[in-house]
Structures are given as C-alpha cells and as structure tokens.
Structure 1
Amino acid sequence: MEERFPMLQIVNGNGEVVDEAYRSELTEELTKELYTKMLRIRLFDRKGVNLQRQGRIGTYVPFEGQEASQVGSAMAMGEGDWMFPTYRDHGATLTFGHSLKTMFLYWKGRHEGCLPPEGKKIFPPAVPIASQLLHATGAAWAEKMKGTDRASIVYFGDGATSEGDFHEGLNFASVFNVPVIFFNQNNGFAISVPMHKQMKAKTIAQKALGYDIEGIRIDGNDAFAVYFHTKKAVERARNGGGPTLIEAVTWRYGAHTTSDDPSKYRDQSETEIRRKTTDPVLRLERFMKNENMWDEKWAKQLEEELTAEIEEAVNEMENEPDANINDMFDYVFESNPWPIEEQKEAFMAGRGE
C-alpha cells in the first residue's frame, strides 16, 4: 500500500525542488505568503503555550510542526467554502479568517472564541473525536443540493480514523458524491498510542479504497505539496468529482496538550532530529535561499511585525472580562435537565455563591 499510495512531495527538507512539474508555479509571491502565514501561526502557537504556563489561559493544545499542513490546506480553500476544525487546527482557522484575538478568547474559555468573522463558514472546534466528519459531509451535501460549487474541508488526526464517525462520514460522502475534503494530519500517534497499535493498515490514504473515493498521501511538512494537492482535490470536488481523503504525513513536536508529557510514550530525540531535517518553516527558508528569494532584513522585520500583532491580540484578550462560569452549564441543553442543575448548584456552593 505504501507503493500504491506514495508520499507526494514537491520540495524536500533541503529546500530542493523534487517535482519539476510544479517549478513554474513556485512563485516568490506564493512562497512568501506561505512563509508569512506559517511563521504567524508558529509564533501564535508558542505564545499560547507560554500563556498557559503563566496561568493566563487554560489548557492549550499545541500544533508546532504541523504548520505546512494547516496553512497549505486552508489556503487552497475559497471564499464561501466550509471549514470544520478540531481543537488543534487553530492554525488553519487563523489562515482561513479567524482573528488572533478570537483564538486567544477561545483558549481563555470565552464562548466568543467559537464565533467566526461575518461571512466565514468556520464551525466551532470539535473536541469529540471524528464527529466533525459527519458535519462536514452534511454541509457539503447541502451545498450540492443547493446547486452551488462550494466545498468543505474537515480536519482530523490518525486516531480519528479508528472511530465509527470516520467510516460513516466517508461512506455517506461516497454514496452521495459530495464535495468534501477529508484532511488527515497523520502525526503517528493517537495521543499516546502509535499508529501500528491502532491499525494494521500501512497508510491512512488506503482507507479511501473501501469507499471508492480518491485517496492520496502527501508530505505534510511540504507546504507546496499540501497547497497544490489540496487545491486539486477542491477543484475536483467543485466539478462533481466527489470527496477526497488526503493523508498529510507530519510530526508534532510538542505534547498532545499542555497537560501531557510526550516523553512517557515517545522518543523525544526524534523531535530534535526532525527540527533540523523536516521542519516545514525551515524548509521554506531553505527553498527561498536556494532560489535567491530570501532577504534577511525582510525576515527580521516580518517576525517583529507578527510578534507585535500577537502581543496586541493578547492585550485585547486580557482586557475582556473572564468567562462566565455559568456558560458551561447553561448552554448544553435548551433547558437544563436535573443532573446539570444539581452539578451547577453544587459547583456554585463550593465557590460560596
């Protein structure tokens, strides 16, 4: 299956073009846009981890190492398309239109953090594993029934492919030939469980065969491969070609969440090796240097501007009131059943309220 679903790559870890068919499309404008958006979300991610360690936000879910997968795929989508993220895909949603302040509010526990900008079809982050695949399929089917050319993209990890919702989503999308992109970021671990312990399949892309849909496997650390191959899948979906399952092979450097210790189940020396060899941001920097696009002054100024933008968003977030504790009780059901009312009363009593 690894031969049938080879890992597609356009630029390797050394920043060298390995697929000449795309060379003319690797423009300086596109390259710098990818680099800017990837550096922006990397700096955001590091700030998020720091804020959690300082007690200024709650538990945070890092994604450093997956920037190419999230930015490249989000940039391939168009205005009016749908996006269905997990709790780890704030890099994709920031690229697709969410504001930095909104994302920080989400991690501060404010429900406003789930609200996209006007006109943007971004669902709230899915915390239950794989449930969002059904939502994405349903939205895509609705667009097809309305006769539009809008598509949807849904993000999920390798662990989600072991859930029933994954199979139901792919089967439904296949039967009704809906315009949805199933974008899997294969980090090799479902929290602490390595891929070989949760499935016998050698690739995730091969699971497309069971539903007779398109399946591809790409280098998830190659921003160009992610962008161009996702774009192809989106265009195919718009033109009636149906769904595509994309497996983006990547590696997250940090923990599953800030409450997790990855050294207990993963050799962290692998992370240090990958930072030097397959890092998505460094790869683009090497490519730009190879192609005489790199400008040290531009890069330094860019980092300063992005850092200032992030700090401003943090200030805006911290100037907002803290989250209302009642929100976690009052917005579960239209009217609360007695168990939730009891929980709320007990919680408030414990706070002396």
Structure 2
Amino acid sequence: MASKKGFDPVKTLEEIEDKFEMYQILNEKGEVVNEADMPDLSDDELVELMTRMVWTRVLDQRSISLNRQGRLGFYAPTAGQEAAQLASQYALEQEDYILPGYRDVPQLIWHGLPLTQAFLFSRGHFKGNQFPEGVNALSPQIIIGAQFVQTAGVALGIKKRGKKSVAITYTGDGGTSQGDFYEGMNFASAYLAPAIFFVQNNHYAISTPVDLQTNARTLAQKAVSVGIPGVQVDGMDPLAVYKVTKDARDRAVNGEGPSLIEALCYRYGPHTMAGDDPTRYRTSDEDSEWEQKDPLVRFRKFLESKDLWDEDKENEIMEQAKEDVKKAIKEADATDKQTVTQLMEIMYEDMPANLQEQYEVYKEKESK
C-alpha cells in the first residue's frame, strides 16, 4: 500500500508529545495559576491535607533516625514526595484498593494501616502484613513494577463484582521501564477496568536518570500506546495532584476505564537507607532547585494566604507526629519476635520434606 501523501511519522510523534504539558494549579510561590480547576475542597479539608503532609514529613525524619539506630529494617525515604503520595490518596474513598510500591507506606497509613504495623513491615515481621479488616490494600511490592499487573487483576475483580470503587497503584519512573508496566495497563485498558496507574517520577531509578531509561519526552504519553488517558502533573503541587486523581477516579467508576498519571517530583534523600549515596549521581544545584519547589512550603504559603495556617499549628502537628512515632515504635518493640518456625508455618500449608527437617531443628533450638 502506498504511503499517505505528505504523511510524516516524526511530525506526528512531535505533535503527540507537545500535547503532554505539565498540569499545575499552585505555582512554586503558592499562588493559584489555574483558578478554573481549583478542586472542591473545604477549608477543613485543605487543612487536613496539609496536616497529613507535615505529619508524614516528621515520620520520614524519625524513620531515617530509627533506621540508623538499627530499630527499623528496610526504609525508602519519602521527603519531597508528600504531595504526590498524600494528595492522590486523599482523592480516594475508603472502599478503594491501594497496591503500593515500597516507598508508598504513607498512603497505606492514611488509608488505615496502623503505624505500629508499618514499622513491623519494615522489620520484616509477618504481623506487619496482617492488615486490619477494612484496610483495602496489598502489602508494599518490592519487585519493581509487579504491582501494575496485580492492579489490573484487582480492578477487573472490582468491575466483575459491580463495585463503585477503583484500584490504584504506585511506582517510580524506574518501574515504567519494566514489562509489567505495559502489560498491566494494556490488560486494564482492554477490559475497561477501574484502575489508576500512578507514576512518581522523581527523576532517578536509584542512580539512573530518567532520560537514560526512555527517549520519550514524558512518561504520561506512554498511555497513548494502550489507549487510555494520560496526564503529567506537577507532583509538588497537592491541589493539582488531587484534581487529576479525583478526575481519574470519577472516570473509572463511571465505566470509562483506567488512567495513567505521571507526577513530577523529587526525593530529597537516598533511594533507600541500604547504602545509596545520592551525592554520587546528583548535584547540589539540582537539589537546591527542587527544594525551591517543596510541596510543604508551597502549600503552607497558600494556606497562610487564606488565614488557614500558622506556625503554632504546624508545631503542634509536628509534636503530635513525634509522639505517635514514639508510641508506635514502643509497641513494635514489645511485639513478640518472629521465629524461623513461625515463618515456615505461615509460608507452607504442606511443608516440603527438606524444610520439615529444618523445621524440627529450629523448633528444638527455639525451645531452649
């Protein structure tokens, strides 16, 4: 077949990429730049969202300290990503399902997971994965991007049961380089499953910058390949994150299928506390540039302009967060230590013969 006269595939690509502009409501100074799209949030709701962001920033600081003291296990810092994480969760309903990555413990906490259990999860204790009734979520996924396929399945289950809820999953920019990223979105798209695929593009997959992971100008445009809406949002702007997530949820529960959201954000700390040194691959100038976009500073200025926030209120929340962490880590310390035999018992219904032999050995050791 002869090619279409004048057809230019390169120009077509450029035209598509040009359409994916960063969506924003609050600029870096906390000023509203998109009045028409201001979300319908009351003053109390705005204050609550800021409260959660401040509380979570303190949790992050305390968790890093606890990790360095040897009192927590695996930990992935979250400072800088509060707007992306918490404003998106704030747009959900309690019946919605969260399928998080390993950096997404804050969303689980605000969805109902007790802080004590979040600490136990970090320690690798099996009780950290025993979620209370009504907390619709899976445990944080360690395998990069695997939660995208799982989310497609959960969302399809929601649809088949006729529920008016969604499944949302989170990954970083590195997760979009995995095959599961495309497979999960394509499956959900084909079945119009109520899913939200949320990418926190903090610009580095550990030490690999995003421009070495893909030649695409945005990650949001990858939605085009599976026929779903995609949006790139300022991930340091809580109002914009809330708005695009709420809109995606509304479309999903109305039977319009899944959406992809790319939130441009930045992690101030290392990838995890397991030895990563971000100074080896990021410059101080880059850090300073993103600190000027801090979601807490931006939202604080906005709320102060509306006389909804002050230093005393913020200090009160910070002190409360410190007390909450102190209480939760004390409860985690008081939890019975996990034994090897317990781990084997909950892993297998019918234990293989070779492990049964090891089980008997450990059982004898633990009885002494």
Q: Which residue of 2 aligns with 1:273?
A: 289
Asked if 1:71 is matched to 2:92, the reply is no
Contact 2:126 2:343 in 1 (8 A): no
Structure 1 segment 194-213 matched on structure 2, within 5 A: 194-213=209-228
Counterpart Cα distance in 1 of 2:357 and 2:64: 34
Which residue of 292, 298, 302 corresponds with 1:287? Answer: 302
Counterpart Cα distance in 1 of 2:216 and 2:356: 45
Structure 1 segment 142-153 matched on structure 2, within 5 A: 142-153=157-168
Q: What is the TM-score normalised by the length of structure 1?
A: 0.92
Distance 1:87 1:328, change over 3 A: farther
Distance 1:24 1:348, change over 3 A: closer
Counterpart Cα distance in 1 of 2:54 and 2:169: 23
Aligned partner of 1:97: which letter?
A: G
Deviation, structure 1 residue 101: 1.0
Deviation, structure 1 residue 270: 1.9
Which residue of 175, 188, 193 corresponds with 2:208? Answer: 193
Counterpart Cα distance in 1 of 2:50 and 2:347: 40
Structure 1 segment 101-180 matched on structure 2, within 5 A: 101-180=116-195
SS in 2 for 1:236: helix
SS in 2 for 1:8: coil
Aligned partner of 2:161: which letter?
A: K
Asked if 1:89 is matched to 2:104, the reply is yes
Q: Which residue of 2 aligns with 1:313?
A: 328
Deviation, structure 1 residue 325: 3.7
Deviation, structure 1 residue 340: 6.3
Deviation, structure 1 residue 269: 3.9
Deviation, structure 1 residue 41: 1.3
Aligned partner of 1:67: which letter?
A: E
Q: Structure 2 unaligned runs (5+)?
A: 1-15
Deviation, structure 1 residue 306: 2.1
Counterpart Cα distance in 2 of 1:194 and 1:24: 32
- RMSD after superposition: 2.4
Asked if 1:11 is matched to 2:34, the reply is no
Deviation, structure 1 residue 291: 2.3
Q: What is the TM-score normalised by the length of structure 2?
A: 0.89
Q: Report how many aligned residue pairs link the two structures.
A: 351
Contact 1:219 1:249 in 2 (8 A): yes
Counterpart Cα distance in 1 of 2:346 and 2:271: 27
1:238-260 C-alpha deviation (Å, 9 max, x unpaired): 00110000001100011111021
Q: Which residue of 1 aligns with 2:49?
A: 34
Counterpart Cα distance in 1 of 2:178 and 2:279: 26
SS in 1 for 2:256: coil
Contact 2:38 2:239 in 1 (8 A): no
Q: Which residue of 2 aligns with 1:56?
A: 71
Contact 1:114 1:125 in 2 (8 A): no
Distance 1:14 1:158, change over 3 A: same
Asked if 1:264 is matched to 2:290, the reply is no
Counterpart Cα distance in 1 of 2:235 and 2:244: 11
SS in 2 for 1:121: coil
Counterpart Cα distance in 1 of 2:327 and 2:156: 40
Deviation, structure 1 residue 331: 4.6
Counterpart Cα distance in 1 of 2:297 and 2:283: 22
1:40-78 C-alpha deviation (Å, 9 max, x unpaired): 111111111100101112232111111111111111111
Contact 1:72 1:227 in 2 (8 A): yes
Which residue of 268, 277, 284 corresponds with 1:253? Answer: 268
Deviation, structure 1 residue 336: 4.7
Aligned partner of 1:183: which letter?
A: F
SS in 2 for 1:181: strand
> Percent identity between the aligned chains?
39
322-331 or 145-154, which moves further after superposition?
322-331
Contact 1:186 1:247 in 2 (8 A): yes
Counterpart Cα distance in 2 of 1:344 and 1:273: 54
Deviation, structure 1 residue 26: 5.2
Contact 1:86 1:125 in 2 (8 A): yes
Aligned partner of 2:105: which letter?
A: H
Counterpart Cα distance in 2 of 1:2 and 1:41: 35
Structure number with larger C-alpha Rg: 2
SS in 1 for 2:312: helix
Contact 1:31 1:284 in 2 (8 A): no
